[in-house]
Amino acid sequence: MTLTHGRRPGDRAVAADHVALRRNNLSVVLRHVRESGPKSRARIAADTGLNKATVSSLVAELVERGLLREGSADSTRALGRPGQLVELDGSGVCGVGAEINVDYLAVTALDLAGESVLERRVPVDVAHLDPGTTLDRLADLIREVLAAVEARSGQLAGVTLAVPGLVRGDTGTLSLAPNLGWGELEVAAEMRSRLGEPSYSLLIDNEANLAALAAYSELRKESPVQDLVLLTGAVGVGGGVVSNGHLLRGGRGYSGEVGHMPVAPDGRTCGCGRTGCWETVVGLSALLHKATDADDPVRNPTLDVEQRLAAITQRAEEGDKRTLAALKDVGAWLGIGGAVLVNILNPDVLVLGGYFAALGPWLREPLEQAIRDRVIAPDGGGCRVVRSELGFAAAVRGGAQIALDQVFVDPTTIGRTEQGVAP
């Protein structure tokens, strides 16, 4: 008879299956609490179909890892001893989003509950800087925010970079950002090098995609929205599309470049080199060109974009004819392109983000009128227009959410063990 020592191959397979099953169940419980709010262990078991003993064990581990915490007593329980509610522990884990845009850099950290821990945005004339200098400055901002996360004893889920251009997320490569003048740049690798080859995940995505995810999360708190289009206006114009609850990326991840729809063939030359792109008539540069002279302070890219928009708003409120005429013209063009998107995609909601949201009181009505007049479906296909409340923080918030989503998919990546590190 031959004696064997240690585990057999079949034993290892069973152990691996058990680990994978527990990881999945941890994710099920954590995501359920995020989506449904504080719940008792008994209610979680009933809602998820897991047995009570398993849920108690899973909740205990998630509490130990700093992802859930004990809340108040369950006041909805009519009979017997009230159960203890468990809720997301927002204090222990943070995701970070960072954005490169034409005239600013921004970084924000969100905790697991989606609350802001720290936000930084600085005006920078990125379009006139070389990529290396810009990435150096962004790395400094990221380090500042990471230090704040560390100071509150938080664990980092990851960092997501938002850029205004064509992105290959699988390789971390920026293929083209026409308004920055960047192309074929290994942005993720460059940033990892500047941050000292960090152990946490560092992802890259298109800024409009991330802004759309953030807008979708906000709207879902109020209504069961499944399909939306977000239009984010800055110097360039981007679009993010959520279809049936999922971000629409396209075959190679290049979807959403709505700013380059050809709408004015005899118009101005775009930053991409083509003529008559939509952003040449509705982008912030187009508005400022129509509303101001070349030496007007609101054209100064070293001023914070919100300060510049506040000045435009004040002029519009005071009835400045040139400002109002420029807004009317931009609103008309916004309606032309917006109606095209509604005809093609039939979203529940068309969300105005970026500067479109800031100047929404003047831009929203012509957009809504165009949807009524130009969309072939009855009642504009049921699409309603809303202004995003996230302002210019949408992309960085979406980036931070992407980083945090990794924790909800696999909670074992984060934890507080006796050694102080996750397994």
Ranking 12-26, 53-67, 403-417 by mean pLDDT, the lowest is: 12-26
pTM of the model: 0.86
Answer whether residue 4 shows pLDDT above 60: no
Give Cβ neighbours of residue 245 (< 8 Å, ≥ 6 apart): 216, 226
Mean pLDDT (whole number) for 4-9 = 51
Contact status, residue 173 vs residue 131, Cβ threshold 8 Å: no
Backbone angles phi, psi at 98, to 5 degrees: -130, 140
Counting residues of the chain whose pLDDT is more than 70, the rounded percentage is 91
Mean pLDDT of the chain: 88
Choice between 127 and 347, residue whose per-residue pLDDT is larger = 347
What angle is formed at CA 99 by the lines to CA 297 and CA 67, rounded to 5 degrees?
135
Could you give the 3-state DSSP secondary structure of residue 30? helix
* DSSP, res 186: -
pLDDT tens, position by position, 203-214? 999 999 999 999
**pLDDT per residue over 20-55, tens digit each?**
899 999 999 999 999 888 999 999 999 999 999 999
Q: Does the pLDDT of residue 90 top 80, yes or no?
A: no
Residue 117: both structure tokens together: 């821990």
Please say if the pLDDT value at position 422 is more than 50. Answer: no
Torsion of CA 334, 339, 341, 345, to 10 degrees: 150
- If we measure between CA atoms, which residue out of 212, 227, 138, 120 comes closest to residue 402? 212
Report the C-alpha gap between 49 and 135 in whole angstroms: 48
Decide if pLDDT at 112 tops 70: yes
Distance CA 136, CA 408 (A): 31
Ramachandran bin of 151, using left for φ above 0, alpha for ψ from -120 to 50, beta for the remaining angles: alpha
Q: How confident is the model at residue 75 (pLDDT cuts 50, 70, 90)?
A: low
How is residue 360 written in tokens? 């929404």
% of the chain residues with pLDDT over 90: 68
| Contact (Cβ atoms closer than 8 angstroms) between residue 374 and residue 339 | yes
Strands (E), 246-348: 246-247
The token pair at 381 is: 């296909």
What secondary structure letter does DSSP report for 358?
H
Q: Model confidence at 171, in pLDDT bands (50, 70, 90)?
A: confident
Closest of 5, 11, 66, 58 to residue 32, by C-alpha = 58
Cα–Cα dist 118/173, whole Å: 27
d(CA 308, CA 99): 19
pLDDT at 334 over 90: yes
| Cα torsion 388, 389, 393, 396: sign | negative
